Structure 1
Amino acid sequence: MGKNIIITGTSRGIGYELVQIFAKAGHQVLALSRNEKPIQSLKLANVTSFSFDLNDAQAYKKVEDFIDSDWEHVDVLINNAGALVNKPFSEISMEDFENVYKTNVFGVAELTRIVLPFMKKESHVVTISSMGGVQGSMKFPGLAAYSSSKAAVITLTELLAEEYKAFGISFNVLALGAVQTEMLEEAFPGYIASTTAIEMAQYIFDFSLNGHKYYNGKLLQVSNSTP
């Protein structure tokens, strides 16, 4: 039985691969990204894609209206979209910090808040974090805004799991290590990761459909390398 899946950050990298894996497995997918063209060009019958900016307060109504009129319920939400600034701390402006947090924290919180009324028992919210956001993990210069924002959604996930425990909805967060994506190149120019975007997408696909049976309010470190 196909499920209704929402994925953010679908124009490239892991999100782009996730949409295709879910669609080929027979699920209905709402693919959200500022640039909707890469997914639309795939012409997948069970995928809906429209331009969506996590920083645009008006955009959430469009998502809410779509779920209400076309789906009525959501089984899985994957908060995958992310923004990254790689600058020495002395050069990072308040605006840089705000832009990263608007996407990586405030956007995750707001989209989750909008989608939750459409979720029922055994639904799963999976948020993609980073090893850089894990307390005690190795940290790297230039990623103050990015890594601290990724730490924030780990705590947010723990809080939501507690707050919605009575509803039977699960919340988990995956802290990813190095995956060969455009964002990795932005963070660590020239670094070659041993894990491809499609390999990580396959793991997230499996976890989002089954992980809620075993985990709730948990941080899983999905990393085989440093960074």
Structure 2
Amino acid sequence: MKNVVITGTSRGIGFELAKLFADKGHNVLAISRNTAPLKTVNHQNITLLSVDLSINSDVKKVADFIKNNWKTVDILINNAGKLINKPFTELTSDDFLEVYKVNVFGVAELTKNLIPFLQKGSHVVTISSMGGVQGSMKFPGLAAYSSAKGAVITLSELLAEEYKEQQISFNVLALGAVQTEMLAEAFPDYKAPLSAVEMANYIFDFSTTGNKFYNGKVLEVSSTTP
């Protein structure tokens, strides 16, 4: 039984991941601003915590829970994401900041808060996007989102180096198209070949075993464009 922290669990891949880990017998701390969807699941292995990742004082609630209840974290999955789809000339500084607060600063702040609880063999998996991978196909309207997803790739590579002596692994999964609400926001008419459940199963397997084979790596998980 592992202690697993997952962000962005109100819908899509995060929602399915929380259920999957819980069904497999692991302790899950499910983090999202909206806890209502998972509350209806009412799983004994899932603890819900309402957290806005863009607010540092909110993020501290996660560390407080770990300190008071679990003491250690085996897996952290940085899955939460914020997407704004606008032509570049219409994107404001506030738009960029809103996206970066969740997709970059929130990832950094949460990871920093949980470092004291990550032990030898722990695995931090950050969910990025193919749009954040250098040299990949890019799409109009996603300047804020894709650049933020590129930033967390570099951040994870740096953390892998910084914490390699502690044997904490940091890896990134750069996802292609998965049929989620967020994909529909970016590409309303596109139908992805993978469901949220299918991708959750892949992420589950990687999170539990991938750190034996990878550290500081970016795996492109995509069979299509986008």
TM-score w.r.t. structure 2 length?
0.99
What is aligned with 1:194? 193
What is aligned with 2:23? 24
What is aligned with 2:141? 142
What is aligned with 1:58? 57
Distance 2:103 2:116 in 1: 21
> Which SS does the other structure have where 2:56 is aligned?
coil
What is aligned with 2:42? 43
Amino acid at match of 1:215: Y
CA distances 1:145-195 after superposition (whole Å, capped 9, x unpaired): 000000000000000000001000000000000000000000111100000
1:13 has 2:17 as partner: no
Distance 1:148 1:73 in 2: 32
Residue 62 (structure 1) shift: 1.2
- Equivalent pairs counted in the alignment come to 226
The 5 Å alignment of 1:74-223 reads 74-223=73-222
Q: Runs of 5+ in structure 1 lacking a partner? A: none
Distance 1:66 1:212 in 2: 25
Amino acid at match of 2:121: E
Amino acid at match of 1:173: V
Distance 1:106 1:139 in 2: 23
Distance 1:106 1:56 in 2: 10
> Which SS does the other structure have where 1:83 is aligned?
coil
Distance 1:15 1:60 in 2: 17
Distance 1:210 1:20 in 2: 18
Residue 64 (structure 1) shift: 1.0
Distance 2:73 2:182 in 1: 28
Amino acid at match of 1:48: T
Aligned-pair identity in percent equals 66
Amino acid at match of 2:107: V
Residue 217 (structure 1) shift: 0.1
Q: Runs of 5+ in structure 2 lacking a partner? A: none
> Which SS does the other structure have where 2:37 is aligned?
helix
CA distances 1:184-215 after superposition (whole Å, capped 9, x unpaired): 00011110000000000000000000000000
> Which SS does the other structure have where 1:122 is aligned?
strand
TM-score w.r.t. structure 1 length?
0.99
Residue 61 (structure 1) shift: 2.1
Q: Which runs of 4+ in 1 moved over 6 A?
A: none
